[in-house]
Amino acid sequence: NVRTVKTHPWPTYTNRVSLNLNGSQSIQLAPSQQYDLKEVYTASIWFKTNTKSSPSDTRLFTFHKDSKQIASTALSVGFENDTIQVQINGIEIIRGKVVAYADNKWHQIALVVNKRKISLYMDGKKLLKFRAKIPAFGTHPASLGSLTGIRKAFIGHIDEFSLFTKDFSPSEIKELFKN
């Protein structure tokens, strides 16, 4: 079950509940290319779950580089078991540290992109720093809570997915996490 969520434009939108995903649904957004901020941006998402992604991996958010039904991934963030991972360009997977996240508490992931320099934070702490070229985003819809449709679906709550048109500094990431 793929649902498209529409909200009122700010400031009339009030967030009263988070998205509760059960592993057989996800949120399909607009075409990925509409979210392509090119070379400098920060993506942030809040989530909570009490379910590890074992035996396969799950995705918190995904942007695609193609228009096909089974589109290649341009950029995706998620988990495989206890390991956080970033997938770029459909094949390159960067695995991070083992993290405790399946504790039914709210956690924040922030991905900071500055050209080819990429940093991933969880709860204000840097977990990954690497260099990679993220391809341009395509027309296949972006997805919250899965790779696409219900493939690699997340079980838990998602809230406050945000894209910012700047690369946040480590202190700004900590402030974003605190607030």
Quickly state the pLDDT bin for 11 (edges 50, 70, 90). Answer: very low
Least confident of 16-25, 104-113, 155-164, 168-177: 16-25
Quickly state the pLDDT bin for 25 (edges 50, 70, 90). Answer: confident
pLDDT at 4: 57
pLDDT at 83: 85
User: Global pTM?
Assistant: 0.85
Contacts of 80 (CB under 8 A, 6+ apart): 53, 56, 57, 58, 95
